[in-house]
Amino acid sequence: MKGRALHFVFKVADRKLTAKFYREILGMKTLRHEEFSEGCEATCNGPYANRWSKTMVGYGPEDDHFVVELTYNYGVKSYNKGNDFIGFTIKSQEAIARAKEHNWPMVEEKDHHVIEAPGGYRFFLLNEPQPKDKDPVQKVTLASSNLQRSIDYWNGILGLKIFQQNDKSVLLGFDENQAKLELQDIGTAVDHATAYGRIAFACPHDDQPAIDEKIKAQNGKILTPLISLDTPGKATVRVIILADPDGHEICFVDDEGFRELSKVDPQGDVLLDRYIRSDKS
Protein backbone atom coordinates (compact mmCIF):
# COMPACT_ATOMS: atom_id res chain seq x y z
CA MET A 1 0.00 0.00 0.00
CA LYS A 2 1.18 3.51 -0.81
CA GLY A 3 0.85 6.10 1.92
CA ARG A 4 2.08 9.46 3.13
CA ALA A 5 2.27 10.65 6.74
CA LEU A 6 0.34 13.94 7.06
CA HIS A 7 -0.33 15.26 10.54
CA PHE A 8 -1.36 14.67 14.13
CA VAL A 9 -4.43 16.34 15.62
CA PHE A 10 -4.42 18.03 19.02
CA LYS A 11 -7.48 19.49 20.74
CA VAL A 12 -6.58 22.86 22.25
CA ALA A 13 -8.47 24.95 24.80
CA ASP A 14 -6.27 28.07 24.88
CA ARG A 15 -5.84 29.11 21.27
CA LYS A 16 -3.80 32.24 22.02
CA LEU A 17 -1.17 30.54 24.19
CA THR A 18 -1.12 27.54 21.88
CA ALA A 19 -0.37 29.79 18.89
CA LYS A 20 2.48 31.38 20.83
CA PHE A 21 3.99 27.96 21.61
CA TYR A 22 3.95 26.62 18.06
CA ARG A 23 4.99 29.84 16.34
CA GLU A 24 7.37 31.49 18.81
CA ILE A 25 8.84 28.49 20.66
CA LEU A 26 8.84 25.63 18.14
CA GLY A 27 9.20 28.05 15.23
CA MET A 28 6.47 26.52 13.09
CA LYS A 29 4.52 28.48 10.50
CA THR A 30 0.75 28.85 10.18
CA LEU A 31 0.01 26.98 6.95
CA ARG A 32 -3.76 27.57 6.88
CA HIS A 33 -6.63 28.42 9.18
CA GLU A 34 -10.27 27.42 8.71
CA GLU A 35 -13.45 28.18 10.68
CA PHE A 36 -16.51 25.92 10.79
CA SER A 37 -20.00 26.73 12.05
CA GLU A 38 -20.87 23.19 13.13
CA GLY A 39 -19.19 19.93 14.03
CA CYS A 40 -17.39 17.74 11.49
CA GLU A 41 -19.21 14.71 10.03
CA ALA A 42 -16.03 12.69 10.59
CA THR A 43 -15.64 14.06 14.15
CA CYS A 44 -12.41 15.86 13.19
CA ASN A 45 -12.99 18.17 16.18
CA GLY A 46 -14.14 15.37 18.49
CA PRO A 47 -17.74 14.63 19.57
CA TYR A 48 -18.78 18.28 19.51
CA ALA A 49 -21.54 19.79 17.37
CA ASN A 50 -20.52 23.36 18.05
CA ARG A 51 -18.55 25.96 16.12
CA TRP A 52 -14.86 25.10 15.84
CA SER A 53 -11.66 25.98 14.02
CA LYS A 54 -8.78 24.11 12.45
CA THR A 55 -5.25 25.53 12.25
CA MET A 56 -2.45 23.69 10.47
CA VAL A 57 1.07 24.53 11.63
CA GLY A 58 4.41 23.08 10.56
CA TYR A 59 7.90 23.69 9.24
CA GLY A 60 6.86 23.63 5.61
CA PRO A 61 4.09 22.73 3.15
CA GLU A 62 1.96 19.70 3.91
CA ASP A 63 3.03 18.12 0.61
CA ASP A 64 6.38 17.15 2.15
CA HIS A 65 6.20 17.93 5.88
CA PHE A 66 4.47 16.22 8.79
CA VAL A 67 2.50 18.95 10.53
CA VAL A 68 0.18 19.61 13.45
CA GLU A 69 -3.56 20.17 13.25
CA LEU A 70 -4.89 22.30 16.12
CA THR A 71 -8.62 21.92 16.64
CA TYR A 72 -10.34 24.50 18.81
CA ASN A 73 -13.92 24.01 19.99
CA TYR A 74 -15.52 27.30 20.95
CA GLY A 75 -16.68 27.27 24.55
CA VAL A 76 -14.70 24.17 25.62
CA LYS A 77 -12.37 25.30 28.41
CA SER A 78 -10.30 22.15 28.99
CA TYR A 79 -9.71 18.53 28.01
CA ASN A 80 -8.70 15.63 30.25
CA LYS A 81 -5.45 14.06 29.12
CA GLY A 82 -5.01 10.29 29.17
CA ASN A 83 -1.90 8.14 28.68
CA ASP A 84 -2.39 7.61 24.94
CA PHE A 85 -0.09 10.32 23.60
CA ILE A 86 3.57 10.01 24.64
CA GLY A 87 5.42 12.59 22.59
CA PHE A 88 6.31 14.37 19.37
CA THR A 89 10.01 14.31 18.43
CA ILE A 90 11.61 17.22 16.55
CA LYS A 91 15.24 17.80 15.61
CA SER A 92 15.85 21.46 16.53
CA GLN A 93 18.54 23.13 18.62
CA GLU A 94 16.89 26.36 17.52
CA ALA A 95 13.64 25.51 19.31
CA ILE A 96 15.60 24.71 22.46
CA ALA A 97 17.26 28.13 22.27
CA ARG A 98 13.91 29.88 21.76
CA ALA A 99 12.39 28.07 24.74
CA LYS A 100 15.25 29.24 26.93
CA GLU A 101 14.95 32.79 25.59
CA HIS A 102 11.21 32.87 26.41
CA ASN A 103 11.68 31.09 29.77
CA TRP A 104 9.33 28.33 28.65
CA PRO A 105 9.56 25.41 31.15
CA MET A 106 11.80 22.66 29.83
CA VAL A 107 13.62 19.60 31.20
CA GLU A 108 17.03 18.63 29.85
CA GLU A 109 17.67 14.94 29.22
CA LYS A 110 20.79 13.21 27.87
CA ASP A 111 20.37 14.06 24.17
CA HIS A 112 17.14 16.02 24.11
CA HIS A 113 14.93 18.45 25.99
CA VAL A 114 11.35 17.78 27.07
CA ILE A 115 8.87 20.61 26.68
CA GLU A 116 5.10 20.76 26.97
CA ALA A 117 2.61 22.55 24.77
CA PRO A 118 -0.48 24.07 26.39
CA GLY A 119 -2.73 21.16 27.32
CA GLY A 120 0.18 19.02 28.50
CA TYR A 121 1.24 17.54 25.15
CA ARG A 122 4.92 16.62 25.34
CA PHE A 123 7.54 17.41 22.71
CA PHE A 124 11.03 15.94 22.62
CA LEU A 125 13.52 18.39 21.12
CA LEU A 126 16.70 16.72 19.85
CA ASN A 127 19.81 18.77 20.54
CA GLU A 128 20.86 18.90 16.87
CA PRO A 129 20.71 21.63 14.23
CA GLN A 130 17.33 21.89 12.58
CA PRO A 131 17.67 20.51 9.01
CA LYS A 132 16.93 22.99 6.25
CA ASP A 133 16.59 20.53 3.38
CA LYS A 134 14.07 18.16 4.98
CA ASP A 135 11.38 17.97 7.66
CA PRO A 136 12.67 18.42 11.26
CA VAL A 137 9.78 16.29 12.58
CA GLN A 138 11.08 12.79 13.30
CA LYS A 139 8.21 10.84 14.83
CA VAL A 140 5.04 10.74 16.90
CA THR A 141 4.99 8.27 19.80
CA LEU A 142 1.74 6.69 20.95
CA ALA A 143 1.01 4.16 23.69
CA SER A 144 0.31 0.47 23.10
CA SER A 145 -1.13 -1.98 25.61
CA ASN A 146 0.08 -4.99 23.62
CA LEU A 147 2.96 -4.35 21.23
CA GLN A 148 2.58 -7.49 19.11
CA ARG A 149 -1.12 -6.82 18.62
CA SER A 150 -0.27 -3.27 17.52
CA ILE A 151 2.35 -4.55 15.07
CA ASP A 152 -0.13 -7.06 13.63
CA TYR A 153 -2.53 -4.20 12.94
CA TRP A 154 -0.25 -1.40 11.73
CA ASN A 155 2.17 -3.59 9.78
CA GLY A 156 0.08 -6.67 9.04
CA ILE A 157 -3.18 -4.96 8.05
CA LEU A 158 -2.39 -1.33 7.21
CA GLY A 159 0.95 -2.13 5.61
CA LEU A 160 3.28 0.32 7.37
CA LYS A 161 6.90 -0.85 7.20
CA ILE A 162 8.87 -1.69 10.33
CA PHE A 163 12.03 0.43 10.57
CA GLN A 164 13.11 -0.43 14.13
CA GLN A 165 11.82 -2.83 16.74
CA ASN A 166 12.67 -4.04 20.24
CA ASP A 167 10.79 -5.57 23.16
CA LYS A 168 9.20 -2.28 24.17
CA SER A 169 8.66 -0.29 20.98
CA VAL A 170 8.34 -0.36 17.23
CA LEU A 171 9.01 2.37 14.65
CA LEU A 172 6.74 2.28 11.61
CA GLY A 173 6.15 4.31 8.48
CA PHE A 174 5.46 4.25 4.77
CA ASP A 175 8.80 5.69 3.66
CA GLU A 176 12.28 6.26 5.06
CA ASN A 177 12.06 9.98 4.30
CA GLN A 178 8.75 10.55 6.11
CA ALA A 179 8.01 11.16 9.77
CA LYS A 180 7.42 7.88 11.59
CA LEU A 181 4.89 6.47 14.02
CA GLU A 182 6.40 4.92 17.14
CA LEU A 183 4.31 2.64 19.32
CA GLN A 184 5.56 2.13 22.85
CA ASP A 185 4.32 -0.66 25.11
CA ILE A 186 3.14 0.89 28.41
CA GLY A 187 2.12 -2.41 30.02
CA THR A 188 -1.39 -1.26 30.85
CA ALA A 189 -4.64 -0.24 29.18
CA VAL A 190 -4.56 2.85 26.98
CA ASP A 191 -6.77 5.67 28.27
CA HIS A 192 -7.71 8.33 25.70
CA ALA A 193 -9.74 10.53 28.08
CA THR A 194 -11.16 13.60 26.27
CA ALA A 195 -7.91 15.05 24.87
CA TYR A 196 -7.38 12.16 22.46
CA GLY A 197 -5.87 12.98 19.10
CA ARG A 198 -5.83 11.47 15.64
CA ILE A 199 -3.05 10.60 13.22
CA ALA A 200 -3.63 11.17 9.52
CA PHE A 201 -2.18 9.64 6.36
CA ALA A 202 -2.87 10.18 2.66
CA CYS A 203 -3.29 7.40 0.14
CA PRO A 204 -4.46 7.28 -3.49
CA HIS A 205 -8.20 7.81 -3.90
CA ASP A 206 -8.59 4.42 -5.57
CA ASP A 207 -6.89 2.64 -2.65
CA GLN A 208 -9.37 3.81 0.01
CA PRO A 209 -12.00 1.13 -0.75
CA ALA A 210 -9.30 -1.53 -0.30
CA ILE A 211 -8.60 -0.22 3.20
CA ASP A 212 -12.30 -0.43 3.95
CA GLU A 213 -12.41 -4.04 2.71
CA LYS A 214 -9.28 -5.11 4.63
CA ILE A 215 -10.52 -3.67 7.92
CA LYS A 216 -13.92 -5.31 7.51
CA ALA A 217 -12.30 -8.65 6.63
CA GLN A 218 -10.28 -8.50 9.86
CA ASN A 219 -13.29 -7.38 11.94
CA GLY A 220 -11.50 -4.13 12.68
CA LYS A 221 -13.18 -0.94 13.80
CA ILE A 222 -14.31 1.71 11.32
CA LEU A 223 -15.36 4.88 13.12
CA THR A 224 -16.45 6.75 9.97
CA PRO A 225 -17.04 4.86 6.71
CA LEU A 226 -15.87 6.44 3.47
CA ILE A 227 -17.30 9.96 3.38
CA SER A 228 -16.65 13.15 1.42
CA LEU A 229 -15.96 16.27 3.47
CA ASP A 230 -16.36 19.83 2.22
CA THR A 231 -14.36 22.88 3.27
CA PRO A 232 -16.01 26.15 2.16
CA GLY A 233 -14.20 27.55 -0.88
CA LYS A 234 -11.71 24.67 -1.00
CA ALA A 235 -11.37 21.14 -2.36
CA THR A 236 -13.59 18.29 -1.23
CA VAL A 237 -11.74 15.29 0.19
CA ARG A 238 -12.79 11.72 0.92
CA VAL A 239 -11.79 10.12 4.23
CA ILE A 240 -12.18 6.92 6.15
CA ILE A 241 -11.62 6.96 9.93
CA LEU A 242 -10.38 3.83 11.71
CA ALA A 243 -9.44 2.85 15.25
CA ASP A 244 -6.56 0.50 16.05
CA PRO A 245 -6.84 -2.18 18.78
CA ASP A 246 -6.03 0.43 21.45
CA GLY A 247 -8.54 2.92 20.10
CA HIS A 248 -6.08 5.31 18.44
CA GLU A 249 -7.95 7.17 15.72
CA ILE A 250 -6.51 6.95 12.19
CA CYS A 251 -7.60 8.98 9.19
CA PHE A 252 -6.85 7.98 5.61
CA VAL A 253 -7.61 10.84 3.21
CA ASP A 254 -7.42 10.71 -0.56
CA ASP A 255 -4.07 12.12 -1.64
CA GLU A 256 -5.32 13.83 -4.78
CA GLY A 257 -8.01 15.87 -3.03
CA PHE A 258 -5.85 16.60 0.00
CA ARG A 259 -3.02 18.09 -2.04
CA GLU A 260 -5.53 20.62 -3.35
CA LEU A 261 -7.09 21.28 0.06
CA SER A 262 -3.76 21.66 1.87
CA LYS A 263 -2.17 24.36 -0.24
CA VAL A 264 -0.47 26.95 1.97
CA ASP A 265 -2.62 30.01 2.58
CA PRO A 266 -0.44 33.15 2.86
CA GLN A 267 -3.21 34.70 4.98
CA GLY A 268 -3.02 31.90 7.57
CA ASP A 269 -1.43 34.01 10.30
CA VAL A 270 -3.74 36.93 9.61
CA LEU A 271 -6.85 34.75 9.87
CA LEU A 272 -5.70 32.96 13.02
CA ASP A 273 -4.84 36.21 14.80
CA ARG A 274 -8.12 37.80 13.72
CA TYR A 275 -10.20 35.00 15.22
CA ILE A 276 -8.11 34.90 18.38
CA ARG A 277 -8.80 38.62 18.88
CA SER A 278 -12.52 38.28 18.20
CA ASP A 279 -13.04 35.18 20.34
CA LYS A 280 -15.26 36.10 23.30
CA SER A 281 -15.92 32.55 24.52
- 50 neighbors 255 (Cβ within 8 angstroms): no
User: What's the rounded mean pLDDT across residues 50-62?
Assistant: 96
User: Nearest Cα to 230, choosing from 2, 4, 37?
Assistant: 37
Cβ-based neighbour number of residue 267 at 10 Å: 12
> Which residues form the domain of 26?
4-278
Q: How many helices (H) and strands (E) does the chain have?
A: 6, 16
% of the chain beyond a pLDDT of 70: 100
Residue 111: the pLDDT is 87
Question: CB within 8 A of 117, min separation 6: which ones?
Answer: 10, 18, 21, 22, 123
**Confidence band for 38, pLDDT divided at 50, 70 and 90:** very high
User: What's the rounded mean pLDDT across residues 113-138?
Assistant: 96
pLDDT exceeds 90 at position 151: yes
* Three-state secondary-structure class, residue 257: helix
Question: 66-103: per-residue pLDDT in tens?
Answer: 999 999 999 999 999 999 999 999 999 999 999 999 99
pLDDT exceeds 90 at position 2: no
Question: 252-280: per-residue pLDDT in tens?
Answer: 999 999 999 999 999 999 999 999 999 97
Mean pLDDT of the chain: 96
Q: Give me the CATH number covering residue 255.
A: 3.10.180.10
Q: How many domains does the chain have?
A: 1
User: What's the rounded mean pLDDT across residues 124-148?
Assistant: 96
% of the chain beyond a pLDDT of 90: 95
**Confidence band for 190, pLDDT divided at 50, 70 and 90:** very high
User: What's the rounded mean pLDDT across residues 43-62?
Assistant: 96
Residue 281: the pLDDT is 63
User: What's the rounded mean pLDDT across residues 197-216?
Assistant: 96
